Structure 1
Amino acid sequence: MSVTREMPSTSGRSLAAAYRRALNLADSIPLSLVQLAGRVAVAHVFWQSAQTKLASWPVTLQLFAFEYDLPLIEPALAAPLATAAEIIGAALLFLGLFSRLGALMLLGVVAVIQIFVYPGHWGEHLMWSSLLLLILARGAGVVSLDYLVDGYFRRGA
Protein backbone atom coordinates (compact mmCIF):
# COMPACT_ATOMS: atom_id res chain seq x y z
CA MET A 1 0.00 0.00 0.00
CA SER A 2 1.59 3.22 -1.10
CA VAL A 3 0.86 6.58 0.42
CA THR A 4 0.50 9.40 -2.03
CA ARG A 5 0.86 12.95 -0.93
CA GLU A 6 -1.17 15.57 -2.64
CA MET A 7 0.47 18.82 -3.48
CA PRO A 8 -1.04 21.85 -1.80
CA SER A 9 -3.75 23.34 -3.90
CA THR A 10 -2.75 26.43 -5.77
CA SER A 11 -6.40 27.29 -6.28
CA GLY A 12 -6.85 27.65 -2.51
CA ARG A 13 -3.90 30.02 -2.34
CA SER A 14 -5.09 32.04 -5.31
CA LEU A 15 -8.56 32.33 -3.77
CA ALA A 16 -7.04 33.61 -0.52
CA ALA A 17 -4.90 36.06 -2.47
CA ALA A 18 -7.92 37.31 -4.40
CA TYR A 19 -9.78 37.78 -1.14
CA ARG A 20 -6.88 39.79 0.32
CA ARG A 21 -6.78 41.95 -2.81
CA ALA A 22 -10.51 42.63 -2.48
CA LEU A 23 -10.05 43.61 1.17
CA ASN A 24 -7.17 45.90 0.27
CA LEU A 25 -9.33 47.50 -2.42
CA ALA A 26 -12.13 48.08 0.10
CA ASP A 27 -9.61 49.49 2.59
CA SER A 28 -8.55 52.04 -0.02
CA ILE A 29 -12.01 53.65 -0.14
CA PRO A 30 -11.57 57.07 1.47
CA LEU A 31 -13.53 57.54 4.68
CA SER A 32 -14.58 60.97 3.42
CA LEU A 33 -16.36 59.33 0.48
CA VAL A 34 -18.29 57.13 2.92
CA GLN A 35 -19.08 60.18 5.07
CA LEU A 36 -20.27 62.16 2.05
CA ALA A 37 -22.49 59.33 0.83
CA GLY A 38 -23.93 58.84 4.31
CA ARG A 39 -24.60 62.56 4.75
CA VAL A 40 -26.32 62.92 1.40
CA ALA A 41 -28.37 59.73 1.78
CA VAL A 42 -29.78 60.49 5.20
CA ALA A 43 -30.22 64.21 4.40
CA HIS A 44 -32.32 63.21 1.39
CA VAL A 45 -34.62 61.05 3.53
CA PHE A 46 -35.36 63.82 6.00
CA TRP A 47 -35.55 66.59 3.38
CA GLN A 48 -38.15 64.59 1.46
CA SER A 49 -40.10 63.95 4.65
CA ALA A 50 -40.17 67.66 5.46
CA GLN A 51 -41.22 68.56 1.91
CA THR A 52 -44.10 66.10 2.13
CA LYS A 53 -45.22 67.68 5.40
CA LEU A 54 -45.04 71.18 3.92
CA ALA A 55 -46.87 70.20 0.72
CA SER A 56 -50.01 69.35 2.66
CA TRP A 57 -49.86 71.11 6.00
CA PRO A 58 -53.51 70.38 7.01
CA VAL A 59 -52.89 66.67 6.48
CA THR A 60 -49.65 66.93 8.46
CA LEU A 61 -51.51 68.48 11.40
CA GLN A 62 -54.09 65.69 11.25
CA LEU A 63 -51.36 63.05 11.23
CA PHE A 64 -49.72 64.58 14.29
CA ALA A 65 -53.10 64.83 16.03
CA PHE A 66 -54.50 61.39 15.29
CA GLU A 67 -51.85 58.97 14.05
CA TYR A 68 -48.57 60.03 15.64
CA ASP A 69 -50.12 60.85 19.02
CA LEU A 70 -46.97 62.10 20.75
CA PRO A 71 -47.13 62.39 24.53
CA LEU A 72 -46.40 65.65 26.37
CA ILE A 73 -46.56 67.89 23.29
CA GLU A 74 -49.50 69.31 21.40
CA PRO A 75 -49.78 68.35 17.72
CA ALA A 76 -49.91 72.03 16.71
CA LEU A 77 -46.43 72.46 18.24
CA ALA A 78 -45.01 69.01 17.40
CA ALA A 79 -45.67 69.32 13.65
CA PRO A 80 -43.69 72.54 13.07
CA LEU A 81 -40.91 71.43 15.44
CA ALA A 82 -40.50 68.10 13.66
CA THR A 83 -40.63 69.75 10.24
CA ALA A 84 -38.07 72.39 11.23
CA ALA A 85 -35.76 69.74 12.70
CA GLU A 86 -35.96 67.74 9.47
CA ILE A 87 -35.29 70.76 7.25
CA ILE A 88 -32.48 72.20 9.34
CA GLY A 89 -30.86 68.83 10.09
CA ALA A 90 -31.02 67.76 6.43
CA ALA A 91 -29.57 71.07 5.22
CA LEU A 92 -26.73 70.96 7.75
CA LEU A 93 -25.85 67.40 6.78
CA PHE A 94 -26.04 68.05 3.06
CA LEU A 95 -23.80 71.09 3.30
CA GLY A 96 -21.51 69.49 5.84
CA LEU A 97 -21.90 72.53 8.07
CA PHE A 98 -22.26 71.89 11.80
CA SER A 99 -22.75 68.30 10.66
CA ARG A 100 -22.49 66.78 14.11
CA LEU A 101 -25.21 69.11 15.38
CA GLY A 102 -27.39 68.18 12.40
CA ALA A 103 -26.77 64.49 13.01
CA LEU A 104 -27.66 64.88 16.68
CA MET A 105 -30.89 66.71 15.80
CA LEU A 106 -31.93 64.00 13.38
CA LEU A 107 -31.00 61.24 15.82
CA GLY A 108 -33.49 62.87 18.18
CA VAL A 109 -36.13 62.83 15.43
CA VAL A 110 -35.40 59.15 14.73
CA ALA A 111 -35.63 58.33 18.46
CA VAL A 112 -39.05 59.97 18.71
CA ILE A 113 -40.26 58.16 15.59
CA GLN A 114 -38.93 54.81 16.85
CA ILE A 115 -40.26 55.11 20.40
CA PHE A 116 -43.61 56.81 19.89
CA VAL A 117 -44.69 56.65 16.26
CA TYR A 118 -43.52 53.56 14.36
CA PRO A 119 -41.71 51.17 16.72
CA GLY A 120 -42.14 48.32 14.26
CA HIS A 121 -39.94 50.05 11.68
CA TRP A 122 -36.77 49.55 13.70
CA GLY A 123 -34.74 48.25 10.75
CA GLU A 124 -35.18 51.43 8.76
CA HIS A 125 -34.57 53.55 11.85
CA LEU A 126 -31.41 51.59 12.63
CA MET A 127 -30.13 52.23 9.11
CA TRP A 128 -30.71 55.99 9.46
CA SER A 129 -29.21 55.97 12.94
CA SER A 130 -26.10 54.14 11.71
CA LEU A 131 -25.40 56.84 9.15
CA LEU A 132 -26.13 59.59 11.66
CA LEU A 133 -23.86 57.96 14.25
CA LEU A 134 -21.06 57.80 11.67
CA ILE A 135 -21.33 61.56 11.14
CA LEU A 136 -21.68 62.25 14.87
CA ALA A 137 -18.61 60.13 15.68
CA ARG A 138 -16.32 60.99 12.74
CA GLY A 139 -17.62 64.30 11.43
CA ALA A 140 -18.51 65.32 7.89
CA GLY A 141 -15.20 64.50 6.21
CA VAL A 142 -13.06 66.56 3.86
CA VAL A 143 -15.87 67.20 1.37
CA SER A 144 -17.71 69.56 3.70
CA LEU A 145 -17.98 73.13 4.86
CA ASP A 146 -16.98 71.94 8.33
CA TYR A 147 -13.59 70.92 6.91
CA LEU A 148 -13.13 74.25 5.12
CA VAL A 149 -14.08 76.27 8.19
CA ASP A 150 -11.82 74.18 10.40
CA GLY A 151 -8.91 74.72 7.98
CA TYR A 152 -9.57 78.46 7.94
CA PHE A 153 -9.45 78.72 11.71
CA ARG A 154 -6.41 76.45 12.03
CA ARG A 155 -4.45 78.77 9.76
CA GLY A 156 -5.14 81.50 12.30
CA ALA A 157 -7.24 83.68 10.06
Structure 2
Amino acid sequence: MTMLTPTSMPARSGLAGLYSQALQFASSVPLSAVQFVARLAVAIVFWQSSQSKLASWPVTVQLFAFEYRVPVLDPGIAAVLATAAEFSGAILLFFGLFSRLAALMLLGVVATIQIFVYPGHWGEHLTWAVPLLLIFARGAGVISIDHLAVRFFSRER
Protein backbone atom coordinates (compact mmCIF):
# COMPACT_ATOMS: atom_id res chain seq x y z
CA MET A 1 0.00 0.00 0.00
CA THR A 2 1.52 3.33 -1.04
CA MET A 3 0.94 6.45 0.96
CA LEU A 4 0.47 9.69 -0.87
CA THR A 5 2.43 12.59 0.55
CA PRO A 6 1.75 16.20 -0.40
CA THR A 7 4.73 16.18 -2.76
CA SER A 8 3.79 12.88 -4.42
CA MET A 9 0.11 13.68 -4.97
CA PRO A 10 -1.02 13.82 -8.56
CA ALA A 11 -1.74 17.31 -9.95
CA ARG A 12 -5.37 18.28 -9.59
CA SER A 13 -7.43 21.23 -10.59
CA GLY A 14 -10.06 23.23 -8.77
CA LEU A 15 -10.55 23.01 -5.04
CA ALA A 16 -8.62 19.74 -4.77
CA GLY A 17 -5.66 21.36 -6.54
CA LEU A 18 -5.70 24.35 -4.21
CA TYR A 19 -5.80 22.03 -1.23
CA SER A 20 -2.90 20.01 -2.62
CA GLN A 21 -0.87 23.21 -3.13
CA ALA A 22 -1.65 24.32 0.44
CA LEU A 23 -0.41 20.96 1.76
CA GLN A 24 2.78 21.29 -0.29
CA PHE A 25 3.38 24.78 1.06
CA ALA A 26 2.75 23.69 4.66
CA SER A 27 5.15 20.78 4.22
CA SER A 28 7.85 23.16 3.02
CA VAL A 29 7.87 25.24 6.22
CA PRO A 30 11.05 24.30 8.12
CA LEU A 31 10.48 22.86 11.60
CA SER A 32 13.20 25.19 12.91
CA ALA A 33 11.13 28.20 11.86
CA VAL A 34 8.18 26.82 13.82
CA GLN A 35 10.42 26.13 16.83
CA PHE A 36 11.87 29.66 16.67
CA VAL A 37 8.44 31.31 16.54
CA ALA A 38 7.15 29.05 19.33
CA ARG A 39 10.11 30.01 21.51
CA LEU A 40 9.59 33.71 20.91
CA ALA A 41 5.83 33.60 21.42
CA VAL A 42 5.97 31.85 24.77
CA ALA A 43 9.05 33.80 25.91
CA ILE A 44 7.16 37.06 25.41
CA VAL A 45 4.24 35.85 27.55
CA PHE A 46 6.46 34.87 30.46
CA TRP A 47 8.75 37.91 30.09
CA GLN A 48 5.76 40.25 30.37
CA SER A 49 4.41 38.34 33.34
CA SER A 50 7.76 38.51 35.16
CA GLN A 51 8.10 42.22 34.42
CA SER A 52 4.65 43.00 35.82
CA LYS A 53 5.54 41.08 38.99
CA LEU A 54 8.84 42.94 39.35
CA ALA A 55 7.24 46.35 38.67
CA SER A 56 5.30 46.23 41.93
CA TRP A 57 6.74 43.62 44.25
CA PRO A 58 4.47 44.37 47.27
CA VAL A 59 1.39 43.90 45.07
CA THR A 60 2.86 40.67 43.70
CA VAL A 61 3.33 39.24 47.19
CA GLN A 62 -0.22 40.27 48.09
CA LEU A 63 -1.54 38.50 44.98
CA PHE A 64 0.27 35.33 46.00
CA ALA A 65 -1.10 35.66 49.53
CA PHE A 66 -4.74 36.43 48.77
CA GLU A 67 -5.57 35.41 45.20
CA TYR A 68 -3.11 32.81 43.91
CA ARG A 69 -2.77 30.90 47.21
CA VAL A 70 -0.37 28.21 46.10
CA PRO A 71 -0.67 25.49 48.76
CA VAL A 72 2.24 24.53 51.03
CA LEU A 73 4.46 27.47 49.99
CA ASP A 74 4.73 30.77 51.82
CA PRO A 75 3.38 33.54 49.52
CA GLY A 76 6.73 35.37 49.56
CA ILE A 77 8.62 32.23 48.54
CA ALA A 78 6.03 31.32 45.90
CA ALA A 79 6.28 34.84 44.43
CA VAL A 80 10.08 34.63 44.23
CA LEU A 81 10.02 31.15 42.68
CA ALA A 82 7.36 32.03 40.10
CA THR A 83 9.03 35.29 39.13
CA ALA A 84 12.47 33.70 38.87
CA ALA A 85 11.09 30.85 36.73
CA GLU A 86 9.24 33.23 34.40
CA PHE A 87 12.16 35.66 34.12
CA SER A 88 14.90 33.08 33.55
CA GLY A 89 12.71 30.81 31.43
CA ALA A 90 11.80 33.67 29.10
CA ILE A 91 15.45 34.67 28.64
CA LEU A 92 16.62 31.09 28.06
CA LEU A 93 13.87 30.45 25.51
CA PHE A 94 14.52 33.73 23.72
CA PHE A 95 18.16 32.83 23.14
CA GLY A 96 17.53 29.10 22.71
CA LEU A 97 19.84 28.21 25.58
CA PHE A 98 19.03 25.15 27.71
CA SER A 99 15.68 25.34 25.93
CA ARG A 100 14.35 21.94 26.95
CA LEU A 101 15.11 22.63 30.60
CA ALA A 102 13.50 26.09 30.33
CA ALA A 103 10.43 24.60 28.64
CA LEU A 104 10.11 21.95 31.35
CA MET A 105 10.43 24.59 34.07
CA LEU A 106 7.75 26.78 32.47
CA LEU A 107 5.50 23.75 31.95
CA GLY A 108 5.73 23.34 35.73
CA VAL A 109 4.64 26.96 36.15
CA VAL A 110 1.73 26.43 33.75
CA ALA A 111 0.71 23.22 35.54
CA THR A 112 0.82 24.98 38.91
CA ILE A 113 -1.34 27.82 37.61
CA GLN A 114 -3.78 25.36 36.02
CA ILE A 115 -4.11 23.09 39.05
CA PHE A 116 -3.99 25.53 41.96
CA VAL A 117 -4.68 29.07 40.76
CA TYR A 118 -7.00 29.26 37.75
CA PRO A 119 -8.30 25.76 36.95
CA GLY A 120 -11.05 27.16 34.74
CA HIS A 121 -8.61 28.82 32.35
CA TRP A 122 -7.38 25.63 30.71
CA GLY A 123 -7.82 27.02 27.18
CA GLU A 124 -5.36 29.84 27.80
CA HIS A 125 -2.98 27.50 29.59
CA LEU A 126 -3.00 25.13 26.61
CA THR A 127 -1.90 28.01 24.36
CA TRP A 128 1.21 28.28 26.55
CA ALA A 129 1.70 24.55 27.05
CA VAL A 130 1.63 23.54 23.38
CA PRO A 131 4.69 25.54 22.25
CA LEU A 132 6.47 24.53 25.47
CA LEU A 133 5.75 20.87 24.72
CA LEU A 134 7.07 21.33 21.17
CA ILE A 135 10.30 22.84 22.50
CA PHE A 136 10.63 20.17 25.19
CA ALA A 137 10.03 17.34 22.70
CA ARG A 138 11.95 18.65 19.67
CA GLY A 139 14.39 21.17 21.10
CA ALA A 140 15.08 24.78 20.16
CA GLY A 141 15.88 24.20 16.49
CA VAL A 142 18.82 25.43 14.43
CA ILE A 143 18.19 29.10 15.24
CA SER A 144 19.46 28.74 18.80
CA ILE A 145 22.49 28.73 21.05
CA ASP A 146 21.64 25.11 21.89
CA HIS A 147 22.24 24.15 18.26
CA LEU A 148 25.50 26.09 18.10
CA ALA A 149 26.68 24.46 21.32
CA VAL A 150 25.93 20.96 20.04
CA ARG A 151 27.84 21.68 16.83
CA PHE A 152 30.78 23.18 18.74
CA PHE A 153 31.07 20.43 21.34
CA SER A 154 30.53 17.56 18.89
CA ARG A 155 33.50 18.51 16.68
CA GLU A 156 36.32 16.05 16.48
CA ARG A 157 39.31 17.48 18.30
Give 1:74's aligned amino acid.
Answer: D
Q: Which residue number corresponds to residue 80 of structure 1?
A: 80
How many equivalent pairs are there? 146
Gaps of 5+ in 1: 1-11
Q: Which residue number corresponds to residue 53 of structure 2?
A: 53
Q: Which has the larger radius of gyration?
A: 1
Give 2:94's aligned amino acid.
Answer: F
Give 1:25's aligned amino acid.
Answer: F
TM-score, normalised to structure 1's length? 0.90
TM-score, normalised to structure 2's length? 0.90
Q: Which residue number corresponds to residue 95 of structure 1?
A: 95
Deviant stretches of 4+, over 2 Å = none
Distance in 2 between residues matched to 1:144 and 1:82, nearest whole Å? 25
CA positional deviation for 1:133: 0.2
Gaps of 5+ in 2: 1-11
> Going by fraction, where is helix more abundant, 1 or 2?
1
Distance in 2 between residues matched to 1:44 and 1:17, nearest whole Å? 38
| RMSD (Å), alpha carbons | 1.0
Identity of aligned residues (%): 66
Distance in 2 between residues matched to 1:54 and 1:47, nearest whole Å? 11
Q: Which residue number corresponds to residue 7 of structure 1?
A: none
**Partner of 1:87: helix, strand, or coil?**
helix
**Partner of 1:63: helix, strand, or coil?**
helix
CA positional deviation for 1:13: 4.0
Q: Which residue number corresponds to residue 69 of structure 1?
A: 69
CA positional deviation for 1:70: 0.9
CA positional deviation for 1:14: 2.5
Indicate whether 1:27 and 2:11 are aligned.
Answer: no
Q: Which residue number corresponds to residue 139 of structure 1?
A: 139
Deviations 1:92-126 (A, max 9, x none): 10000000000000000000000000111100101
CA positional deviation for 1:140: 0.2
Distance in 2 between residues matched to 1:156 and 1:52, nearest whole Å? 46
Give 1:72's aligned amino acid.
Answer: V
